[in-house]
């Protein structure tokens, strides 16, 4: 790639992009369009107009809607072709929803809304539909949590391949959603502050279009949009008007679960860049535990996290940080100064700038939530420790509290070098331990006759002085000191409350 020209790199990238979309079911575009987006654009009209619920609505097909990141531009399909439907669910009609037609005022006014309750509007993404299993589960959890109004946007015909047409269609469906909310606000006296839009994948950007259209055409600003792993192809490095962004609502929260690059190229199903007020990156935003690299599993994990957040079996709390590595290394810690945020339904705006990144860890299966603890390991700076010249080790901990106990946890996958006087930190996720009682510490020496780097003339020995455990969100520290001045491999050292220091 280093010797490849910029134009050739772009062509290869777009070929890979479209091959990837083919794997999702989309037919390939004309290869001749890949390296000449502008030439392709000049072959079609600059504006496409349709009548949306009696209003003439036009969509630009010029820049920034076409650029090097989205070389193929299509006009949205007509409303009657997409056939968008809006289904209202409440506890009274949780099984058989009421269909709302925004173009029929009687349909809107006669809908069986639960008065003075929130409106949650949910939309699916590419190649999906409004009755998919995850949608049913999410609706059920929302209604179990509260008797409220849940509206499902089904644009499944418009979400079919090719992907480029589905990308175009979310602009039309966004305008339709905006008109529905405007109608409910104007004629049914529903406060705009009652609405919360939730979209997965392409549906996340659809919600962004709805927010933009509602603001620019009707002068109404949505209170909240939640993006569940917004789609990246055709939205990466594009103008904010083409995608979800913080200006689309008073509060935009985003959960990123699949930003893994494919074949080394800057391409993934889910967005890599921050696009909201708060952007949550559970497990770094990729390699979700339990998915084993399955892209589809990772892409849908954002839905599962949000759905599980409604049940509140335990908190999904993250920490504001610059990177996941800094987070797991314990460099970002504590909840003072709006430094922590709940991921999912309970997410709220923080006193932080837009595009703030929030990191957390999850478990590999439901319940995904857990409790974060920062572990700080202090190495002795004694003469004996300095003379030993440090040691390579993997440290395993087993924590027991009044409430629960952890599984044995290795603080690193690979060995670390524990030098005299150094402090090593690591964030772990486990159960709610309560008041810490005992701590089992095992030193695992990674030595091997095949690993020259691990060869030592001296007997493998650690000189640990203390271990400190800090639960996230609590002003508590448990510091345990070793009575032994040195530790040897494959032996568990038990520290109890008598070792607190």
- CA-based max dimension of the chain: 86
| Active-site residue, 239 included | no
Backbone angles phi, psi at 80, to 5 degrees: -70, -25
Same domain? For 158 and 207 the reply is yes
Measured between alpha carbons, how far is 419 from 18 in angstroms, rounded to an integer?
Answer: 50
Measured between alpha carbons, how far is 432 from 238 in angstroms, rounded to an integer?
Answer: 42
Measured between alpha carbons, how far is 347 from 228 in angstroms, rounded to an integer?
Answer: 13
Same domain? For 339 and 413 the reply is no
Residue 338 CB partners (closer than 8 Å, separation 6+): 320, 350, 351, 352
Same domain? For 203 and 239 the reply is yes
Q: List the CATH number of the domain containing 482.
A: 2.60.60.20
- 13, 237 in Cβ contact below 8 A? no
Q: For residue 58, tell me if it sits in a domain.
A: no
- 463, 441 in Cβ contact below 8 A? no
Q: List the CATH number of the domain containing 300.
A: 3.40.50.1820
pLDDT at res. 329: 97
| Total domains in the fold of the chain | 2
Same domain? For 222 and 92 the reply is yes
Same domain? For 381 and 354 the reply is no
Query: 306, 334, 360: which is the final residue of a domain?
Result: 360
- 445, 375 in Cβ contact below 8 A? no
Measured between alpha carbons, how far is 41 from 68 in angstroms, rounded to an integer?
Answer: 12
> How many CB atoms are closer than 10 A to CB 289?
15
Same domain? For 199 and 91 the reply is yes
Cis preceding-peptide flag for 367 (omega within 30 of 0)? yes
Same domain? For 406 and 352 the reply is no
Measured between alpha carbons, how far is 206 from 230 in angstroms, rounded to an integer?
Answer: 10
Q: For residue 389, tell me if it sits in a domain.
A: yes
Query: 335, 360, 385: which is the final residue of a domain?
Result: 360
> Tokens standing for 238?
């594009």
The pTM of this model reads 0.90
Quote the radius of gyration of the chain (alpha carbons, Å): 27
| Active-site residue, 196 included | no
Q: For residue 56, tell me if it sits in a domain.
A: no
Same domain? For 194 and 325 the reply is yes
Residue 78 CB partners (closer than 8 Å, separation 6+): 50, 172
Same domain? For 323 and 444 the reply is no
Query: 328, 360, 392: which is the final residue of a domain?
Result: 360
Same domain? For 322 and 411 the reply is no
Q: Which of 154, 229, 248, 277 is catalytic?
A: 229
Same domain? For 115 and 263 the reply is yes
Residue 364 CB partners (closer than 8 Å, separation 6+): 289, 290
Q: For residue 82, tell me if it sits in a domain.
A: yes
Measured between alpha carbons, how far is 455 from 80 in angstroms, rounded to an integer?
Answer: 72
Per-residue model confidence as pLDDT tens for the chain (501 residues):
333 343 333 433 444 444 444 434 444 334 333 333 333 333 456 999 999 999 999 999 999 999 999 999 999 999 999 999 999 999 999 999 999 999 999 999 999 999 999 999 999 999 999 999 999 999 999 999 999 999 999 999 999 999 999 999 999 999 999 999 999 999 999 999 999 999 999 999 999 999 999 999 999 999 999 999 999 999 999 999 999 999 999 999 999 999 887 766 667 899 999 999 999 999 999 999 999 989 999 999 999 999 999 987 888 999 999 999 999 999 999 999 999 999 999 999 999 999 999 999 999 999 999 999 999 999 999 999 999 989 999 999 999 999 999 999 999 989 999 999 999 999 999 999 999 999 999 999 886 544 555 555 568 899 999 999 999 999 999 999 999 999 999 999 999 999 999
Strand partners, 480: 467, 500
Q: Which of 205, 299, 372, 424 is catalytic?
A: 299
Q: For residue 150, tell me if it sits in a domain.
A: yes
Q: Which of 128, 201, 268, 274 is catalytic?
A: 201
Q: For residue 69, tell me if it sits in a domain.
A: no
Q: For residue 22, tell me if it sits in a domain.
A: no
Strand bridging mode 119-123 / 195-200: parallel
Same domain? For 272 and 380 the reply is no
| Active-site residue, 216 included | no
Measured between alpha carbons, how far is 500 from 237 in angstroms, rounded to an integer?
Answer: 52
Range of the domain at 485: 371-499
Residue 81 CB partners (closer than 8 Å, separation 6+): 157, 158
> How many CB atoms are closer than 10 A to CB 495?
21
Exposed, middle or buried, 329 (CB in 10 Å: 0-12/13-18/19+)?
A: middle
Q: For residue 67, tell me if it sits in a domain.
A: no
């Amino acid at each position: 790639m280093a010797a490849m020209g910029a134009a050739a790199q772009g062509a290869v990238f777009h070929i890979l992009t479209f091959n990837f979309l083919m794997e999702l079911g989309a037919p390939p575009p004309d290869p001749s369009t890949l390296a000449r987006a502008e030439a392709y654009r000049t072959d079609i009209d600059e504006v496409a107009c349709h009548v949306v619920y009696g209003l003439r609505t036009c969509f630009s097909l010029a820049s920034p809607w076409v650029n090097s990141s989205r070389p193929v531009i299509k006009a949205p399909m007509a409303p009657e072709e997409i056939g968008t439907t809006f289904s209202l669910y409440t506890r009274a009609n949780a099984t058989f929803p009421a269909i709302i037609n925004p173009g029929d005022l009687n349909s809107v006014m006669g809908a069986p809304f639960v008065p003075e309750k929130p409106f949650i509007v949910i939309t699916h993404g590419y190649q999906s539909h409004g009755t998919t299993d995850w949608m049913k589960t999410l609706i059920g959890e929302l209604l179990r949590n509260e008797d409220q109004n849940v509206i499902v946007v089904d644009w499944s015909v418009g979400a079919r391949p090719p992907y480029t047409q589905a990308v175009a269609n979310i602009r039309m469906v966004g305008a339709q959603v905006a008109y529905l909310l405007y109608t409910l606000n104007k004629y049914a006296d529903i406060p705009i502050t009652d609405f919360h839009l939730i979209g997965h994948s392409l549906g996340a950007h659809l919600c962004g279009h709805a927010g933009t259209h509602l603001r620019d055409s009707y002068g109404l600003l949505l209170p909240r949009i939640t993006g569940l792993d917004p789609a990246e192809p055709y939205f990466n490095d594009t103008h904010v008007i083409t995608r979800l962004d913080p200006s689309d609502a008073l509060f935009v929260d985003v959960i990123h679960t699949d930003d893994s690059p494919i074949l080394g190229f800057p391409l993934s199903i889910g967005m890599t860049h921050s696009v909201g007020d708060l952007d949550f990156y559970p497990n770094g935003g990729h390699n979700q535990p339990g998915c084993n690299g399955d892209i589809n599993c990772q892409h849908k994990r954002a839905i599962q996290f949000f759905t599980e957040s409604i049940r509140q079996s335990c908190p999904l709390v993250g920490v504001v940080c610059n990177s996941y590595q800094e987070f797991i290394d314990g460099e970002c810690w504590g909840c003072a100064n709006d430094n922590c945020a709940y991921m999912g339904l309970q997410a709220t705006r923080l006193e932080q700038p837009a595009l703030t990144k929030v990191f957390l860890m999850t478990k590999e299966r439901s319940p995904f939530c857990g409790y974060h603890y920062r572990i700080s390991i202090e190495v002795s700076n004694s003469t004996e420790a300095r003379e030993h010249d440090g040691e390579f080790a993997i440290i395993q901990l087993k924590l027991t509290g009044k409430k629960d106990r952890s599984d044995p946890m290795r603080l690193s996958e690979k060995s670390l070098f524990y030098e005299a006087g150094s402090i090593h930190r690591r964030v772990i996720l486990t159960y709610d331990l309560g008041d810490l009682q005992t701590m089992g510490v095992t030193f695992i020496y990674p030595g091997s006759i095949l690993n020259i780097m691990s060869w030592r003339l001296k007997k493998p020995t650690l000189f640990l002085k203390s271990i400190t455990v800090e639960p996230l969100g609590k002003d508590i520290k448990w510091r345990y000191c070793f009575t032994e001045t040195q530790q040897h491999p494959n032996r568990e050292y038990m520290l109890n409350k008598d070792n607190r220091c």
